[in-house]
Structure 1
Amino acid sequence: MDIIVIFFQYFYSILLENSFFILIGFLLAGVIQILLPKHLLEKLIGKSTIGGIFKGILIGLPLPICSCGIVPAAIALKEKGIKDSVAASFLVSTSGFSVSSIFTSYSFLGLPLTLMRPVVAAFSGATAGVLVHLFGDDNQEGSTKTDLNEISMNNHCNSCNQNHSMSSRHCGYHKTTRNDKFREVLNYSFREMFPDVSTSLLIGLVFAALMGTLMNVIMPWGVMKTFAGDPVISLFVLLLVSIPLYVCPTVSIPIALGFVFMGFTPGSILIFIYAGPATNIAALSMVINKFGKKFFGIYITSILVVSLLMGYIVNLFSNFFMGIIVIRNLSLYNSVIPFSIRLISVVILICLMVYGIYRTKIVKLSQQSAFDYKHE
């Protein structure tokens, strides 16, 4: 019974801390799909693959969205025709870092480790992008896809037999109000995209809560502490701890401080605060569902290998990093999102997941059953 209570506590805390950012991520995906013209996106990213990879990093790093929220945005980029290599750099660089966590990180862990976090994110993103380009299924066909909005405009311009460019507004068709555009964004985000990943998202959230529960019950904290000061083993210990845990970039900071008090090395702390958010299970389930196994393998390998390498480098200067870790202002940990907003986001997310699963699973199953019955 205690395990069940702990499970639901973990599940609730995961939803409470992440629902708002997940919803924002899907909303961002709708904005990319509906409001960002394909030609402008191509101009922003550029035609060079390597240049696009680094631009994907520069665009992704400042976004204050957790890894679970950034996956829908990456999916929208893919559907817009952006190469998988660029989507990989964008996704990996954003997943383990959020600008909203900078002040909390500085307060708890000091400036050096705070600065190392985006460095690890950038290197991981660059590595993932290059590897996807070299060994993955870089999306070459996507660049030939036509924007749905452009299709509808072309159809209209042809049907009204007028010789005018798509930018012309003489017939009134192209005059869409802000409310119309906002409805299109919401429709794409939560009626078209969300149902496709709702099952994967729910499975990931449940599995993350289950892993957190098991770690709480069976984690050998005493054994872990014996390896805390080892410059190499400590890296792998906290890496193994970070992967099953579902923590956003901000929430990972005070947890990491607990590991500091246990005597863990600064390199292992860096791995925990980057790899933990970047490898949360709910996000991983959506990545493998929408991008495929090869992309997923490169994605996870880039995060793990680069974080281990950077963690080892940080441990070479252990005294410098550990000497600066002090608690300056505990109040900075307080969430910038009010509790009421987070709670409303939880309710909305649960409703959307129920709707998505109903639409993609139950309705399709009933339709298939009716079809089979009809043809018996």
Structure 2
Amino acid sequence: MSIIYEILKESWHIYLDVAIYMLFGFFVAGILYVFFKADKIKQYLGTGKIKPVILAALFGIPIPLCSCGVVPVATGLKKQGANSGAALSFMIATPESGVDSIAVSWAMLDPIMTVIRPVAGFITAVSTGIAQNFLGNEYTSDTSSIKKKTSG
């Protein structure tokens, strides 16, 4: 029973250490939401093969979303006109190098890993997004053929 108590106690201390960084991350995400409108997202993330990927990764770094929470946001970016590589780059960079993730790395790992982890996440996100734009297929949801087949 004492081991469970110690685990819970240490978990609570980690939570207290991370809480201020999480609040700061939410504050930064709110600022980004206010200053980046949907038409600007389409303008910067919709055209090109390399630049939108880098911008999407940079845009995703300070946003504190987990791997589950980033999926609807990336889907929204895609629906607003971002290309597939940019959406994929955002999906990888955001949970890998978000402010909350960096804060946890700082609390649990040494300072070198705290720097290396987000840099590696950024490189992985950009590489994957560029590969998607050059090698992958651009998928669109064309429902016109379905309507033709189902209409009598």
Distance apart, 1:313 and its partner CA? 0.7
Preserved contact between residue 41 and residue 82 of structure 2 (Cα < 8 Å): no
- Paired residue for 1:283? 101
Distance apart, 1:324 and its partner CA? 6.1
Q: Unpaired runs of 5+ in structure 1? A: 1-179, 327-376
- TM-score, length of structure 2 as denominator length: 0.80
| Local SS of the residue matching 2:15 | helix
- Deviation readout 1:37-72 (Å, 9 max, x if unpaired): xxxxxxxxxxxxxxxxxxxxxxxxxxxxxxxxxxxx
Q: CA distance change for structure 1 residues 275 and 325 in 2, over 3 Å: closer, same or farther?
A: farther
1:213 aligns with 2:30: yes
| Local SS of the residue matching 2:65 | coil
* CA radius of gyration, larger in: 1
Distance apart, 1:309 and its partner CA? 0.9
Matched residues in 2 for 1:304 and 1:272: separation? 10
- Paired residue for 1:258? 76
Distance apart, 1:303 and its partner CA? 0.8
CA RMSD between the two structures: 2.3
Distance apart, 1:293 and its partner CA? 1.5
Q: CA distance change for structure 1 residues 209 and 289 in 2, over 3 Å: closer, same or farther?
A: same
Distance apart, 1:198 and its partner CA? 3.4
Q: Unpaired runs of 5+ in structure 2? A: 143-152
Matched residues in 1 for 2:104 and 2:139: separation? 39
| Local SS of the residue matching 1:222 | helix
Q: State the AA in 2 paired with 1:308.
A: V
Residue number among 287, 308, 316 corresponding to 2:134 in the alignment: 316
| Local SS of the residue matching 1:245 | coil
Q: State the AA in 1 paired with 2:139.
A: G
- Deviation readout 1:231-289 (Å, 9 max, x if unpaired): 11111221122112222222222221211122212111111112212223222112112
Q: State the AA in 2 paired with 1:310.
A: T
- Paired residue for 1:249? 67
1:294 aligns with 2:112: yes
- Deviation readout 1:157-183 (Å, 9 max, x if unpaired): xxxxxxxxxxxxxxxxxxxxxxx3xx5
Q: CA distance change for structure 1 residues 277 and 191 in 2, over 3 Å: closer, same or farther?
A: same
Q: Percent identity?
A: 15
- TM-score, length of structure 1 as denominator length: 0.35
Preserved contact between residue 95 and residue 101 of structure 2 (Cα < 8 Å): no
Q: CA distance change for structure 1 residues 324 and 189 in 2, over 3 Å: closer, same or farther?
A: farther
Distance apart, 1:302 and its partner CA? 1.0
Preserved contact between residue 268 and residue 311 of structure 1 (Cα < 8 Å): yes
**Corresponding residue pairs, total:** 142
1:184 aligns with 2:7: no
Matched residues in 2 for 1:296 and 1:264: separation? 30
Q: CA distance change for structure 1 residues 317 and 225 in 2, over 3 Å: closer, same or farther?
A: same
Matched residues in 2 for 1:222 and 1:237: separation? 15
| Local SS of the residue matching 2:67 | coil
Counterparts in 2 of 1:68-87, with a 5 A limit?
none
Matched residues in 2 for 1:193 and 1:259: separation? 35
Preserved contact between residue 201 and residue 283 of structure 1 (Cα < 8 Å): no
- Paired residue for 1:157? none
Matched residues in 2 for 1:270 and 1:289: separation? 28
After TM superposition, where is structure 1 displaced by more than 3 Å over at least 4 residues in a row? none
| Local SS of the residue matching 1:316 | helix
Distance apart, 1:220 and its partner CA? 4.3
Distance apart, 1:294 and its partner CA? 0.8
Distance apart, 1:222 and its partner CA? 2.8
Q: CA distance change for structure 1 residues 325 and 300 in 2, over 3 Å: closer, same or farther?
A: farther
